[in-house]
Amino acid sequence: MKDFKGKIVFISGGASGAGLGQAKVFGREGMKVAIGDVREDALENAKKELIAFGIPEKDILAIKVDLTNRKDYTACADKIEEVFGGPPHLLIQTAGVNSFGPVEASTFDDYDWVMGVDLNHVVNGLVIFVPRMIKAYAHKTEFWVAATSSGGAWMISPTCAPYDAAKAAVNSLMYAYNQALEPYGGGATVLCPANINSNIGNAEKFRPANLKHTGYHVSEGTMATLRSIHATGIDPVELGEILKEGIENGRVIVLPDHHPENWPQQLRSYSIQEEALCLTAAERKAAAEKQAEERRKMFEEMMKNAPKDGSAPAPRPMWGTPEGGEVFGKAREDLDWVDPANRFEKK
Ligand code: NAI
């Protein structure tokens, strides 16, 4: 898809972080921008930010919607047609949440919340929008679907399992839709970032009341640590530009990184991970050590290249904690079947 001007884009999770960056980028291209998010206050702020960014108010539609609720999401799709006169030409599903803890500590609520948003909302959007998009646009004008997945789709971790599983499934779906939509004149792109300067570190604060029973240790301190890591991530507008370039060039998968010169490095670390899954425990240990060494070197390189004048936050290794922060990814202290090494311990 190359021509965006005057067309309609819908961005799920568009009130914050990566989604808001995408709204700015495609709005700047002259698209009518609909954003859907569950947080009303964030939607209002996002609308103001979009206007300040230069997007005309008449071209912005902010919809409060719980994307995991199919009735709600269908009503959101109807609203876009009612206001903008048709379904989106470009669908970007970016809403997401994350929660960290040992997979063996995971509760149904942990799975239902993370996979509900990160996978099921993408399924909901595809089922709701794609038939409408084909009927309205096939062989007439360009249309495209995209989703924001994650490097987690490959970097499968025992402390991020529901998230990684959801993202791997999203990748798989997007490869399928790319092939399926091609005969209609459409296509699909999946964006797999490593780290974004967004608000996802606060996601636990907005976990729905009916899904709050977690097996993980979550605290202000773990959220502070996550926020400090995400503060070193890629700028959402820069990320939106990278996605736009991917869509313009019909790429199925887009792998951005904070430092583009590290792309081969990042790809290499994914393939080390994939290889590791076929190995014995001893071979896996050696591969993990090799990967840790590569990451350490990459971090040293990032530190060397980081601006020293305070114009950007200093890079922080994944294994560090800021002041007032706490290690994340531990189980609740009371889960007596979880290995003590994986359990939060009160000091
Ligand atoms: P963010 O927290 O800034 O934005 C996510 C938005 O999704 C929030 O505004 C939130 O209210 C919304 N949302 C959550 N549940 C919802 C629901 N049920 N219905 C409607 N809206 C809902 O986070 P960020 O980082 O911008 O996340 C965007 C995407 O990027 C996510 O899919 C995330 O998994 C992915 N990602 C993020 C990375 C990062 O380092 N932050 C790295 C790789 C991928």
Distance separating alpha carbons of residues 125 and 112, to the nearest angstrom: 17
More confident residue, 86 or 281: 86
Strand runs labelled E in the chain = 8-12, 32-37, 60-64, 90-93, 144-148, 188-191, 253-254
Confidence of residue 319 (pLDDT cuts 50, 70, 90): low
Mean pLDDT (whole number) for 269-286: 70
CATH number of the 8-215+234-254 domain? 3.40.50.720
The residue-averaged pLDDT of 230-247 equals 94
> In angstroms, what is the span from residue 16 Cα to ligand 1's centroid?
7
- pLDDT > 80? residue 247: yes
Q: DSSP label at 331? A: B
Max intra-chain CA distance, the chain: 64
Q: What is the pLDDT of residue 280?
A: 76
Give the pLDDT confidence of 159-201 residue by residue, as tens digits: 999 999 999 999 999 999 999 999 999 999 999 998 999 999 9
Ordered by start, the domain boundaries in the chain are 8-215+234-254, 262-342
> Is the Cβ atom of 99 under 6 angstroms away from ligand 1?
no
Cβ 122 under 6 angstroms from ligand 1? no
Environment class of 297 (CB within 10 Å of its CB; exposed 0-12, middle 13-18, buried 19+): exposed
233 within ligand 1 shell (Cβ under 6 A): yes
* Cβ neighbours of 228 (radius 10 Å): 19
Confidence of residue 143 (pLDDT cuts 50, 70, 90): very high
Residues 43-83 pLDDT 10s: 999 999 999 999 999 999 999 999 999 999 999 999 999 99
Is 270 a catalytic site residue?
A: no
Q: Above 80 in pLDDT, residue 107?
A: yes
User: Where is average pLDDT lowest: 40-49, 172-181, 263-272, 282-291?
Assistant: 263-272
